Every structure is written in structure tokens, then in C-alpha cells.
A and B are shown apart, each in its own frame.
Chain A
Amino acid sequence: MYRYDEFDHQLVGDRVKQFRGQVERRVSGELTEDAFKPLRLMNGVYLQLHAYMLRVAIPYGTLSSKQLRMQAHIARKYDRGYGHFTTRQNIQFNWPALDKIPDLLEELATVEMHAIQTSGNCIRNVTSDQYAAAIDGEVEDPRIISEIIRQWSTFHPEFTYLPRKFKIAVTGHDNDRAAIKLHDIGIVIKQNELGDVGYEIHVGGGQGRTPFIAKKMADFVPKAQLLAYLEAVMRVYNMLGRRDNSYKARIKIMVHETGEVEMRRLIEAEFAKIDASQMLAVPQAEIDRISAYFASPEFETLPATSPALDAAKTQDADFARWVRANVVAHKQDGYAIVNISLKPIGGVPGDATDVQMEAVADLAERYSFDEIRVTHEQNLVLPHIRLDDLKTVYDALNAHELATANLGLISDTIACPGLDYCNLANARSIPLAQEISERFADLDRQYDIGELKIKISGCINACGHHHVGHIGILGVDKKGTEFYQISLGGSADENASIGTITGRAFTEETIVDAIETVVTTYTDMRQTDERFIDTFRRVGLDPFKERLYAE
């Protein structure tokens, strides 16, 4: 885990003091709301339907037990006893009072956390692969370069007033769990034939009202040149990105309108302008310092199999199902990656109570080298659990309703907060996620259906990633009433694709039946072991459309 140095501490501490003063001036009337709003947004404070919302950054989704315990403390002291993990690997609190937020941020800073880069038209909190440093086949731990990008981009004066927000994701693995092709910049760490490590760069992906898959702009940027290359991309965007229309201001629109070839030429021309002798390069000593924080834990030498685990699976069928669904092979013999589903049947996707957060923190401290990860699919991960400890960990999770065995299945839905909380939403998302998970509650049926990712957004801003759901659902408003539009065939992984809308929207009463129709159309048509997304890609939209809109 990265630890703050004196500069980080000072930066965050000064920011809290500055914000405290700004809040005081707003409350005293010295600042108008128009003047204050951009300041609070730069500190992660939004206004939602019922209250303010504070979004706390979890850089690249990595937390220590101490940091997670602090989230539990904040939930209890400043909020209503829970937090909401987001698709940006962050956590949101839905009820903090404005005048208490400076105190909250001061407490947060004691565990080296803040709300910087969680809002505004800056480079946002960098996201990454939740299995970093635990999964086999990784070129390099993506959190090292993510941390360097975090430090480089924090308060970067040139990139603080961009045309629009800017999101960067990094993966070190060919299996993309960070949705890098749906980001403004997606970085894949690669090794070339000479054995050198560098970066494949994708630019111009994104969702919102005009979704695009990112275009590959560079096959291999050498390690030492990455920040200079990113600087070139940012400069081209900062100079030519549209500022006249916020709906057209993201870099994805610029890439689309400029064209892939011209965009690449512009970036390369800008990159070429950067004098090699003055190129922004991180000193090796600093890279070594940061890398050391991400050194591999001291794993024990263990056999690849565990008789204790095998015996427990035989004795406890529920445990065996959980292992099958939620536990992933680790790079180190004798260890496993544990996914904690925050999607209990009928629950709110991504929500965790203070007590649940503390329970996970305790498990991480005791069994997972003090590490927790947040996934963009709104779940948690204990990255390094010994096979021998799996049953103990499972029992503890189960006692806190954290052992739902549904990872990647139909009830493991991404859902934005929607009209239950969000000021921008047109329709509710959470109740739909709840109804779908209740309709498909039978785990055997879920296993039979197999991998199926449903993603629900309550408005076109697409925080619930509906464009890249195998089944995407978009809530729309028609004269104050909620309707739901279905799209099929989206995917956020290395074979990223944008879903296709099936046709007219469904009502609140008919949408869950419509989802069931989509699922049975798939199960009727699939070939042996064929996943939903593969069946869809083989047969196309028409069979689904025919069944959905049959009179």
C-alpha cells in the first residue's frame, strides 16, 4: 500500500483547511451559492435529492483495513450508517451535513484519504484492476503507474480546468477488468519482444449520452515516456476539446469528430514537440520508492491444494457454491482471491453498512495482508486469502450477509443510485435491480443461466454502465413517469462493445417480465456452454426483439 510522504500530508491537510474556510464563508453569506458550488464540487460535495453527497476517492480501488474502518466510522458519525461503493471504485456518503464535512475530511486525512479528484473538470481518481498483484499473468502491478499518474495529475495546473471531466484506467493484464476501453484514456501495460515494459494507450472511450469504444492511439509507449505522452494527449484535448457545449466536451467526441488517424497525428505532433532533454520523467529513486510500497506480500510456501478446503466443500454445499462463484485462482500456490458480493438478493447494489465494513476490515487485517479492493462492478475483494482460511473467511462473511454466491451472475447487477437519490436521474435504478435479483433469486437457476451482466442507469449519463451491460437498462422519464429501455450485447471487457437498443421502452410493471423474456430467449437458443454474450453475438438482436415485442 502506498503511504503518504510529507508532501502528500501537507497537500491534503492544506486542502481541508482551505475548504473549511470556504464552507464558513458560504454559511456566513460571504460566498453566494454560485461562487461556492464549483468549490464544493472540487471537494467531492454534490447536492442530491434529499441531502448533500460526499464522494471519497479510493485510488485504484485499494484500501487498508484502517482506511475501511474509517469509512465505517464516517458512516456512523456523519451519515446514516452506510456507504455506497461506486463504479469508479470510490465510496459515497448520502447524508452528510455541509457544516460537518470539513470535520469529516479532517478525520479522513488521518488515514491518508480525501475527496480530491472525485468531481469537476479535472483528471479524476485513477481506476485499475481489482485483482492487481494477485492474479497470474500480469505484466506488472498496475497500481504503481496508477499512483504515479495520481501524483502527477493531482492539482496539475494545466489540467485543472479541462473542457470536461477526464477518466483514466490502467490494467496490467490481458483480461480487462478495469473497462479501459470505456475511459478517456485506457492504459494496458505490455511487454515487448525485447522484454521491455511499456504502455498500450487507448483514447476516447466513454459512455454517457454518446457512447464510444476507445481507439488505440499507441501500441507501445516506453516506460520513461508515459507521462510526456499523457501530457501530449491532454494538451491536444485542452486546446481543441469543445467548451461551447458540455454534451460534446469529452475527448471521445473530439476523437470521433477529428477521426482516429488525425487524432493520432495530432497527439504524435504534440509529443514530438516535447524536447527529449526536458521530457517529464519520474526520477528512478521516486519510482523505486513508490514501487516498494507495492512489493508482493510475504506469501508462505504452500501446496497448490488444500485438504481442509476440499473437506469443507464436501461438508457444506453453500460454501462449495460460494467458492465456485466468488473465489478466483491466485498467482501464488495455496492462496485465492475472494470476491465479496455487495449484491445480496433484494439488496441495494454497492451498499455496505458500518458493521459490514468493519467486518471486512477485520478479515483483511487478519487474513489478507491488510488489503481490500473495491471493484468497478460495486463489489469488494480480499486479494490474498490462504486456501486453508477460505472456510473461516466465508463463515465470517456469511454472518454479516456478505456471502452471496453470485459473482458475474444475473443478480450481480451494477446500478447507479438513480431517482432514489440522484438529482440528475429520470428513473429509479435500485428497485429494478432488487426486483430482478428477487425474480432470479434461485442460485441454481442463476448458475444455469451463467455469466450475465445486467447494468442499470437511471438517466442517460450512464453511471450504471447500461451501454456495456450484456443486458443494459436505461430509465427514462415520460411526463413524470418512469419507463425502461433495454439494450443488448454490450460488454466492458477486452472485447468491449456498446449494446443495441431493442425498441420501445417498458413500464415499471412490465420491465422485469421483459428481462425474463430476454433470458429465456437466450436459454432456448444457446449452444452447449455458450454464454449470453456469445449467443447474442451469434444470433443478433432479431430473435430477442421478436420475443420481446410479440403481440
Chain B
Amino acid sequence: MAQHSSKGARFQAVTANRLSDGEVVYLTADNQWAETFPAADIADGPEAGDALMARALPADFELHVLEPYLFEVLQDGTDYKPASVREIIRAAGPTVRLDLGKQADAKRES
């Protein structure tokens, strides 16, 4: 598994792909898997990051998601956003097909 969070990262979240269809999901504060990044629980500091990751590992999640990992998040005013291009793309969809992925779902809902 590649490293998706830098050593000095302050804020982190946990993401995975849903087993049934591969959809990108995020671990929420109440230990659910949500489809949108704003619903993700954000850990502040390395210890909170480790604790967040530990919550993603129970065996029963094997039935729902695969390959959970921590990734770096940046504070953006009162909001958060993924730090890397990779995670920005995972949170939105292909930049070359704005009609597909989460970005398209968000557009349809608005």
C-alpha cells in the first residue's frame, strides 16, 4: 500500500472502496461509511489519526469495504479538503469526465 499521508500531516481522514461496487467511501464519526468526503471524520494529530485508522480495521468491515487507509487533509477556512491531487480526484471523479463520479451525483442533486 502506497503512503497517502505525509509524516508531518496534522489532519487526516480514512477512505476505502466499497466491496460491492468499488465506490469511494469515507469513515464517519459514527463509524459508518459515507460516499462523500464532507461526511468524513477528521483526525487532528498523529495519535488521533492512528485511533481513526484503528476504527476502520474491525473484521466486520471486511464485508463492506476494502483497503482502508489514512490520507492527509488540509484545513480550508472552516472546511477541510484532501491534500493530494489523487485524493481530490477520488473525492470528485475523473477530471476528464465531469459527467461521471461523485461530481456528477452532486450536480444532479443540486
Contact = CB atoms under 8 A, between A and B. Distances in A.
Contact of B85 (A27, A29, A50, A480): A480
B94 A51 contact: no
Nearest to A48: B22
A425 B97 CA distance: 17
A480 B22 contact: no
A92 B94 CA distance: 15
B19 A419 contact: no
A49 B96 contact: no
A52 B21 contact: yes
Contacts of A27: 19-20, 63
B23 A51 contact: yes
A49 B89 contact: yes
A313 B74 CA distance: 59
A196 to B, nearest CB: 50
Contacts of A200: none
A481 interface: yes
B103 to A, nearest CB: 10
Nearest to B4: A480
Interface in B56-110: 62-63, 66-67, 72, 83-86, 89-90, 93-97, 100-101
B24 to A, nearest CB: 6
Interface string A116-145: 000000000000000000000000000000
A50 B66 contact: no
Nearest to B63: A29
- Residue among B22, B24, B62 facing the most chain A CB atoms (10 A cut-off): B22
A285 to B, nearest CB: 46
Contact of A47 (B67, B72, B95, B97): B67
Nearest to A348: B96
B6 interface: yes
Interface string A421-463: 1000101101100100000000000000000000000000000
A27 B64 CA distance: 8
A32 interface: yes
A29 B62 contact: yes
Contacts of A425: 86
B17 interface: yes
A50 to B, nearest CB: 5
Contact of A419 (B24, B62, B86, B100): B86
A33 B94 contact: no
A95 B84 CA distance: 23
A425 B94 CA distance: 13
B62 to A, nearest CB: 6
Contacts of A391: none
A273 interface: no
Contact of B6 (A51, A52, A348, A479): A479
A260 to B, nearest CB: 35
A26 interface: yes
A50 B90 contact: yes
Given A80-B100, A420-B94, A431-B95, A97 B20 contact: yes
Contact of B96 (A97, A434, A480): A434
Contacts of A348: 96-97
Interface in A35-86: 47-52, 80
B95 A97 contact: no
Contacts of B93: 50
A303 B81 CA distance: 66
Contacts of B20: 27, 97-99
Given A49-B89, A50-B101, A480-B85, A33 B21 contact: no
Contacts of B24: 49-50
A480 B90 contact: no
A50 B62 contact: no
Nearest to B104: A80
Contacts of A50: 22-24, 90, 93-94, 100-101
B100 A33 contact: no
Interface in B7-47: 17, 19-24
A482 interface: yes
Nearest to A346: B96
B106 to A, nearest CB: 14
A524 B23 CA distance: 50
Contacts of A47: 17, 22, 66-67
A420 B89 contact: yes
Nearest to B88: A480
A29 B95 CA distance: 34
A95 B104 CA distance: 14
A428 B95 contact: yes
A95 B97 CA distance: 13
Given A98-B19, A98-B21, A480-B84, A49 B63 contact: no
A32 B62 contact: yes
24 contacts: A27-B20, A29-B62, A32-B62, A33-B67, A47-B66, A48-B22, A49-B24, A50-B23, A50-B24, A50-B90, A50-B93, A50-B94, A52-B21, A80-B100, A95-B100, A97-B21, A98-B19, A98-B20, A98-B22, A419-B85, A421-B94, A425-B86, A477-B85, A480-B86
Interface of A: 26-27, 29, 32-33, 47-52, 80, 95, 97-99, 348, 419-421, 425, 427-428, 430-431, 434, 477, 479-482
4 closest A-B pairs (Cβ-Cβ)?
A: A480-B84, A51-B22, A97-B21, A420-B94
Given A50-B22, A420-B96, A428-B85, 18 more contacts: A27-B19, A33-B62, A33-B67, A47-B22, A49-B89, A50-B24, A50-B94, A51-B17, A52-B22, A95-B100, A98-B20, A419-B85, A421-B94, A430-B96, A431-B95, A480-B83, A481-B85, A482-B85
